[in-house]
């Protein structure tokens, strides 16, 4: 199947709009860049190296995050939001066009179901968008579905229901293979709401048995990501509740099975950066769902509530990258629900927050840090991280975007394009269309 070249005319933001807005900001940007370059050079850091590393960073977009999200209380649709997977890809290409950071989308089935995946792949390629990990869905019942997932799916007490869930995952893998994806993320909501409702060990044994069947179906170069979550939709116990259960399952299944860390799937104040270090240490860190949260699985914009935590996660990722010597390749993806913002603006902001956390982690003086840690010089060790976090790296991020054909100020440029208003004129507005979750 031939590769379709990017058709720039198909991209959502006219290049002249980006050029005009960058011209407006270029002089100040270059001054900021020179100042940051000088500041980093004083610490023997080459800003050009940071820009090159940021340009190599790739983060997958959540297809379900391209439409307005909601809660069990309500969803407030946005005029001009996408109504099908093709329009979701159009909007993904706008985020990538302005940031240069998001060349892939993670699809979710059956929410992104369509009838021709070769055509979908070619449409994506024409828009410069590839396909990251595929997501299966056995946490909702579909119309006409024979067996309900009310009491679970891959861990269900009845074999026929487990078999139905297994077959759905196999179908997702086949679709993903056609699209050029290289991984499947399996998150299940299976669990219980009452003590005694489920037998913990039997449930996990059934889950593992089902996942072995999914694992056997993986193409040779694929990975299976196990996504743990503390609670919701189950509110007493969850079959894959924490990283411990996830890594034990991944180790039991085999080399292609790894753990996916969704930042929102932990109790408040859990030390997620240490979980990241542990999973990386044992070669089981497969991927991320970046977002932020204040209370539960809020799926808020990455870095919008606790940017220091996102930085500390990237600090562990850079450390693991150094240890991994090239074999360390987690799949970075976002998983967010945009309930009160334009999804594109939230994703532009989140992409900047993620790239910023990475850039700040790259400027940590790791030689000095190791020395202070060895000498138990607590304050100086802490300040190695703290001062990197407090460094304003925005000029380096903007240069990475400009060199990728993107915008110095993505939000200003996006608004200057009136993209959403133009889409509202041509897209079919369907207030009853959900993004998937609601």
Single out the residue of 265, 417, 438, 425 nearest to residue 348, CA to CA: 417
β-bridge partners, 70: 75
111 or 123, CB closer to Mn ion? 111
Give the nearest distance from C-beta 135 to Mn ion in angstroms. Answer: 8
Enter the tokens of residue 399: 């240069």
Q: Supply the minimum distance, in Å, between the C-beta of residue 437 and ligand LRH.
A: 6
Token pair, residue 274, equals: 């240490």
Shorter beta-carbon distance to Mn ion: residue 36 or 183: 183
- List phi, psi (to 5°) of 405: 85, 10
- 190 binding partner (options Mn ion, ligand LRH, none; Cβ < 5 to 8 Å by kind): none
Characterise 223 by phi-psi region: left (phi > 0), alpha (psi -120 to 50), beta (else). beta
Q: Which does 93 bind (CB under 5 to 8 A by kind): Mn ion, ligand LRH, none?
A: none
Q: Considering beta carbons, is residue 187 or 414 the nearer one to ligand LRH?
A: 187
Residue 292 within binding range of ligand LRH, rule CB under 6 A: no
223 binds Mn ion (CB under 5 A): no
Give the one residue of 33, 64, 311, 389 binding ligand LRH; rule: CB under 6 A.
64
Stretch that binds Mn ion, among 123-131, 282-290, 351-359, 360-368 (CB under 5 A): 282-290
Least distance in Å: CB of 262 to Mn ion?
Answer: 4
Paired sense of beta strands 191-192 and 237-238, if any: antiparallel
Provide the mask over 288-327, with x wherever binding to Mn ion is found by CB under 5 A and - wherever it is not: -x--------------------------------------
Nearest-approach distance from CB 349 to Mn ion, in angstroms? 19
Sheet of strand 183-186: strand arrangement: 130-131, 104-106, 60-62, 331-334, 285-290, 257-262, 223-227, 183-186, 134-135
3-state secondary structure of 382: helix
Q: Which does 389 bind (CB under 5 to 8 A by kind): ligand LRH, Mn ion, none?
A: none
Could you say which residues in the range 100-159 bind ligand LRH, by CB under 6 A? 135
To 10 degrees, the CA torsion angle through 340, 135, 349, 323?
Answer: 150
Single out the residue of 87, 90, 190, 227 in contact with ligand LRH (rule: CB under 6 A). Answer: 227
Q: What is the number of the residue whose Cβ is closest to ligand LRH?
A: 187
The DSSP bridge partners found for residue 62 are: 106
Q: Report what 301 binds from Mn ion, ligand LRH, none; CB cut-off 5-8 Å by kind.
A: none
* Site map 230..269 versus ligand LRH, x via CB under 6 A: --------------------------------x-------
The 3-state DSSP class for residue 192 equals: strand
Contact 78, 66 (CB under 8 A): no
# residues near ligand LRH by CB under 6 A? 10
Cα separation, 411 vs 398, in Å, equals: 12
Q: How many CA atoms lie within 13 A of 94 on its CB side?
A: 28
Of 22 and 346, nearer to ligand LRH (C-beta) is: 346
**Strands in 82-142 per DSSP E:** 104-106, 130-131, 134-135
Strand bridging mode 183-186 / 130-131: unpaired
424 makes contact, choosing from Mn ion, ligand LRH, none, with CB < 5 to 8 Å by partner type, with none
Identify which of residues 187 and 222 has a Cβ nearer to ligand LRH in the complex: 187
Considering only residues 244 to 273 of the shown chain, the ones binding Mn ion according to CB under 5 A are 262
Q: Please identify, using beta-carbon distances, which residue of 53 and 289 lies nearer to Mn ion.
A: 289
**Nearest distance in Å: CB 299, Mn ion:** 8
We find the least distance from the C-beta atom of residue 181 to Mn ion, in angstroms, to be 16
Query: Does residue 335 touch Mn ion according to CB under 5 A?
Result: yes
DSSP line for 252-294: HH-TTEEEEEETTSS-TT--HHHHHHHHHHTT-EEEEEE-B-S
Q: What is the 3-state secondary structure (H, E, C) of 64-77?
A: HHCCECECCCCECC
Report which of 202, 151, 205, 210 is spatially closest to residue 186, judged by C-alpha positions: 210
Beta strand 134-135 with 191-192: parallel, antiparallel or unpaired? unpaired
Count residues contacting Mn ion (CB under 5 A)? 3
> Binds 112, which of Mn ion, ligand LRH, none (CB < 5 to 8 A, cut-off by type)?
none
Beta bridge pairs of residue 259: 226, 285
Q: Which residues, 308 to 367, sit near ligand LRH by CB under 6 A?
A: 335
Binding site for ligand LRH (CB under 6 A): 64, 135, 187, 227, 229, 262, 289, 297, 335, 437
Binding site for Mn ion (CB under 5 A): 262, 289, 335
């Amino acid at each position: 199947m031939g590769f379709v070249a990017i058709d720039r005319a198909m991209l959502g933001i006219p290049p002249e709009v980006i050029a005009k807005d960058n011209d407006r900001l270029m002089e100040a940007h270059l001054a900021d860049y020179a100042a940051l370059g000088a500041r980093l050079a004083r610490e023997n850091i080459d800003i050009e190296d940071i820009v090159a590393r940021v340009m190599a960073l790739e983060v997958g977009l959540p297809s379900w995050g391209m439409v307005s999200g909601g809660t069990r209380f309500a969803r407030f649709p946005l005029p001009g939001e996408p109504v099908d997977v093709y329009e979701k890809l159009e909007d993904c290409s706008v985020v990538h066009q302005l940031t240069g950071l998001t060349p892939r989308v993670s699809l979710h089935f059956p929410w992104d179901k369509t009838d021709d995946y070769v055509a979908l792949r070619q449409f994506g390629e024409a828009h410069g968008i590839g396909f990251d990990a595929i997501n299966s869905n056995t946490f909702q019942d579909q119309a006409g579905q024979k067996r309900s997932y009310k009491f679970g799916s891959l861990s269900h007490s009845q074999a026929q229901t487990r078999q139905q869930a297994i077959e759905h995952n196999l179908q997702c893998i086949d679709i993903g293979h056609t699209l050029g994806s290289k991984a499947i993320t399996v998150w299940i909501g299976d669990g219980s709401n009452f003590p005694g409702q489920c037998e913990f060990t039997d449930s996990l044994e059934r889950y593992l048995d089902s996942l072995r069947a999914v694992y056997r179906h993986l193409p040779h170069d694929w990975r299976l990501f196990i996504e743990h979550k503390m609670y919701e939709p189950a509110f007493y116990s969850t079959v894959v509740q924490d990283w411990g259960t996830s890594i034990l399952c991944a180790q039991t299944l085999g080399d292609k099975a790894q753990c996916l860390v969704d930042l929102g799937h932990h109790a408040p104040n859990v030390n997620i950066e240490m979980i990241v270090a542990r999973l990386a240490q044992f070669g089981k860190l497969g991927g991320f769902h970046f977002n932020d949260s204040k209370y539960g699985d809020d799926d808020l914009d990455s870095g919008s509530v606790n940017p220091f935590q996102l930085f500390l996660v990237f600090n562990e990722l850079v450390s693991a990258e150094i240890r991994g010597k090239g074999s360390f390749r987690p799949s970075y993806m976002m998983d967010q629900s945009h309930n009160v913002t334009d999804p594109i603006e939230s994703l532009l902001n989140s992409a900047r927050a993620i790239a910023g956390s990475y850039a700040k982690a790259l400027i940590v003086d790791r030689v000095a840090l190791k020395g202070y840690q060895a000498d138990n010089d607590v304050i100086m060790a802490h300040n190695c991280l703290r001062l990197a976090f407090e460094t304003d790296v925005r000029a380096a991020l903007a240069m990475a975007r400009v060199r990728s054909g993107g915008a110095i100020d993505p939000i200003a440029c996006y608004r200057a394009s009136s993209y959403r208003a133009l889409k509202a004129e041509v897209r079919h507005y369907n207030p009853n269309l959900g993004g998937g979750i609601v």
